[in-house]
Structure 1
């Protein structure tokens, strides 16, 4: 799933990195994909326009700045200034401060939930919706809608589940590993036992609150139904005290699997150390076979020396019935969207911003920056750049087959849901509360939002 504070570093390194670029509103996506042919001449004839870009994908600030320079070369009348935010810093507070001061950024790269929260301040992109539906993979634009409105343009796609180190797993089982062989929780447990018997740690559980609250426990809200609106209704029932989580099969199934992960956790002796770089490195170098994490971890794994070369992903099994929703699907989201200010920006700035975004997601320069330099996936067809993210490529196979859990319900959750419930999950991880206590704390949290 951020998909958030330190989660910005992962769930958006995960979670995260975005870019925009553009030409002019009159250009169609197909025309803009031609590397801006004829656009510079057209734009140069118009007046100078300055855009500001608020970036919450702090890990790639320099990539954005290089793209801004390139775009300015193609369109000398358009200049774009980066408004950076620190990794894991008070990004939302900075955005709110700019908005309150009457000086908001022209373009923002924000979590979808934040755009929804401030939807009255962003431009309705409904007129542009059809052209992006034509460019994007099936369902990608629908998944980016917020209360039915097209307020932000998706530019990355992310997935998570149980990552696996192919070499480590195959050495442990003494043969070729077939990811499809793990269909149930019992299948996973049998595999963990073989790996442990071979002298390797079966799984890495990252103990940070964002991983526990957003990615793991957050699946409870997305597994209720394949329909996001139904999942929103479930959350409303939680707020109104109408749900007993200990009787909910999705919650109990997730927690039964979590108990299995706890038992075989490589960090069992110190589960809250939550050193993301260390956890990722141990997995990448084969010290642990599986890792509950997402494709954004490639930003760390891909840069390591002496790492292994082959990795993949399997769904997190939540029951012993292979047909249950979730057992064959990986979690999927479009964590960041590009949105355009409608509170202070001029019509000229808005048109230039639209053109810039279009260029960013359709041009070879933009796609190469996102896919090759940032190591992210894009929810678009006919891409011109080759992905170097091995894990992201593995996720893409599930996306192409439609085997995904749409976690879009998180766009409608309170900004603190992952931190508050993540703290409860951490208590459960170290045995400070039992299953009943965890369920009660989570239910109590949601009751504080009754009527909101």
Structure 2
């Protein structure tokens, strides 16, 4: 009888491991909380958590959404101040180090060995991994191929390799009464996504990019005369010349951008693959979309003119201060479910339209924007923004400057001077 019980116990343990790639055998019910900073997938996350609880009936996951306009850093800081930190916090890469003393060391987790090369670099400190890379995302100029070809004929996105070639297409579209582009005036889009391209494209050597940021902090960089910044702003000036919102540049919303693109009102939209669920909701019949890079200059051999931004943009961290050991183990089980359980992978990738940054996850989202990013990645034509070393207030402050520039309330010299002043005062 003793041996029979032992065999049953061993079988149960093996079953639980196979079920979710992790082990959570507690007979007591555990509730964990999940702070989400990706509002566009909150509804889908709720469904994913229900499916997870079907595999693990003793674990329930409560979603805590971060309000529109509130940064992940602000929200998490407030929750720690009130002694009510979430079990799992979804935050930006640059915030991980600021909170790492509150986070669980995940270095011994199996998935650290299966993570794609480089995705853990910015969340590893003194050899310890403090975050789970949740989403590989990319951004650039999303094109509506169906609309473009209806207006001007065959369109090959690989022909857009310079600012000149992009503007030539814009002119052709405008001649056919098609508005070329919309710029959504969101501070996070302008301050975290657009202008940061100028940091990343200073060099193909990431170490040199980090040194550039350090020199900015030290006041050693003259951005007014920096070629890359001026090149990128020349492109921005061209984009706003053909902007759907040029008469009221600050009036647009995120939802409006998706609607304009999906309803064939504009041919291009500066945004990332996270926008796909909204685009599809507006027009589920058209799936002919993809990315072209934001060109810096008129050199067709410039690597960055042929490449898009792609990197893990959201990290999941497990709290140790306000959550019990049981809650921490349950949180690890959820992460392992994503990576190693077939049902978990499908929920993660298909349910949330997430590109999983793990070598063992072979499936990719069914949406065209994700597929476009994967194509760029396979061709070695991606680069990453140095988010991990940007201050937490970068996107709201620099984004506000970019909004003024977009609206013509600040000239280029003023913009670049304000960015330099920001960095010399940055914490």
Tell me which interval the TM-score lies in, with the shorter structure as reference length: 0.7 to 0.9
What is the rounded CA distance, in whole Å, between the counterparts of 1:431 and 1:71 in structure 2?
49
Indicate which of 103, 107, 116 corresponds to 1:122.
103
Quick one: structure 1 residues 83 and 430, their matched pair in 2 at CA, closer, same or farther if it must change by over 3 Å? closer
Q: Does 1:109 align with 2:109?
A: no
User: Residue by residue, what CA displacement relative to the aligned partner does 1:42-80 show, whole Å, maximum 9, x if unpaired?
Assistant: 744665544333333344444434444443443344343
Q: 2:121: which partner in 1?
A: 142
Q: 1:413: which partner in 2?
A: 390
What number of residue pairs does the alignment pair up? 416
Superposition deviation, residue 141 in structure 1: 3.3
Alignment gaps of 5+ in structure 2? 1-11
TM-score normalised by structure 1 residue count: 0.83
User: Residue by residue, what CA displacement relative to the aligned partner does 1:228-284 show, whole Å, maximum 9, x if unpaired?
Assistant: 443222122112221111221210110111111122112211111122222221112
Q: 2:238: which partner in 1?
A: 260
What is the rounded CA distance, in whole Å, between the counterparts of 1:103 and 1:93 in structure 2?
14
TM-score normalised by structure 2 residue count: 0.88
What is the rounded CA distance, in whole Å, between the counterparts of 2:226 and 2:254 in structure 1?
31
Superposition deviation, residue 86 in structure 1: 3.4
Q: Does 1:335 align with 2:313?
A: yes
RMSD: 2.8
Helix, strand or coil at the partner of 1:334: strand
What is the rounded CA distance, in whole Å, between the counterparts of 1:90 and 1:242 in structure 2?
29
Q: Does 1:206 align with 2:187?
A: no
Alignment gaps of 5+ in structure 1? 1-25
Moved more, 95-104 or 199-208: 95-104
Helix, strand or coil at the partner of 2:120: helix
Superposition deviation, residue 329 in structure 1: 0.9
Q: 1:427: which partner in 2?
A: 404
Helix, strand or coil at the partner of 1:286: coil
User: Residue by residue, what CA displacement relative to the aligned partner does 1:317-361 show, whole Å, maximum 9, x if unpaired?
Assistant: 101122324111101121111111122434443333222211123
Preserved CA contact (<8 Å) 2:96 2:123: no
Superposition deviation, residue 143 in structure 1: 5.5
Indicate which of 274, 278, 284 corresponds to 2:262.
284
Q: Does 1:159 align with 2:142?
A: no
What is the rounded CA distance, in whole Å, between the counterparts of 1:171 and 1:144 in structure 2?
45
Q: 1:71: which partner in 2?
A: 52
Alignment of 1:6-405 (within 5 A): 34-36=18-20, 43-44=24-25, 48-89=29-70, 92-128=73-109, 131-142=110-121, 144-145=123-124, 149-174=128-153, 176-305=154-283, 308-383=286-361, 385=363, 387-405=365-383
